[in-house]
Amino acid sequence: MRILILILAALVGGCAAMVPGPQVLRSDFDSSVEVTQSPMRASVSMTEGLQALGFYWTSWHPDEVVLHVEVPDIVIIRALGLNMDGVIWESEISPDVSTVHARKPFALSSRRFVMTWEDFELLGSGADGENEDV
């Protein structure tokens, strides 16, 4: 039984290790830096579709981070709200329009939103639900 548990733990750990990290590009021409994280999919429950969140940052606009949001199905994404350890961040109306990716067998809709660097740091330092005071 212990061997089966160890094998399952190794498989789960191996899947977590396969999550791609952010891609960092440095320009030799102007020394600018770009950091891109492809959208990572997650859901709260098995009955819910997978939402995805990625980001883009560049040293040309160091105080802004562009969030890339994807949701299943063909929908109009009007706004984005995130709960970051009890602090609710809500997006401004995005100047970008929703984009529909009609790929079989699944369709995805995506939209970009701009977030300040300070809010992005708060998002990245979240307690992952460990804060019981919220």
Q: What single string gives the DSSP state of each residue in the chain?
A: -HHHHHHHHHHHHHHHHTS---EEEE-TTT--EEEEEEEEEE-SSTTSPPEEEEEEEETTSTTEEEEEEEEESS------EEEETTEEEEPPPPSSPPEEEE-SS-EEEEEEEEEEHHHHHHHHT--TT--TT-
Which pLDDT belongs to residue 44?
A: 67
Would you state the pLDDT for residue 35?
A: 93
Predicted confidence (pLDDT) per residue in 30-75, tens digit: 999 999 998 888 766 666 667 888 899 999 999 999 998 888 877 7
Residue 15 forms part of a structural domain: no
More confident residue, 103 or 34: 34
Does residue 134 belong to any structural domain of this protein? no
In this prediction, residue 69 carries a pLDDT of: 87
How far is 115 from 88, CA to CA, in rounded Å?
13
Amino acid 62: pLDDT: 92
CB 122 within 8 A of CB 83: no
Whether a cis peptide bond, with omega within 30° of 0, leads into 39 is no
How many structural domains comprise the chain? 1
Q: What residues are paired with 109 via a beta bridge?
A: 71, 100
- 63 lies in which domain range? 21-124
Q: What is the pTM of this model?
A: 0.68
Residues counted in the chain: 134
129 assigned to some structural domain: no
| pLDDT band per the 50, 70, 90 thresholds, residue 6 | very low
What is the distance in angstroms between the CA of the first residue and the CA of the last residue of the chain?
A: 39
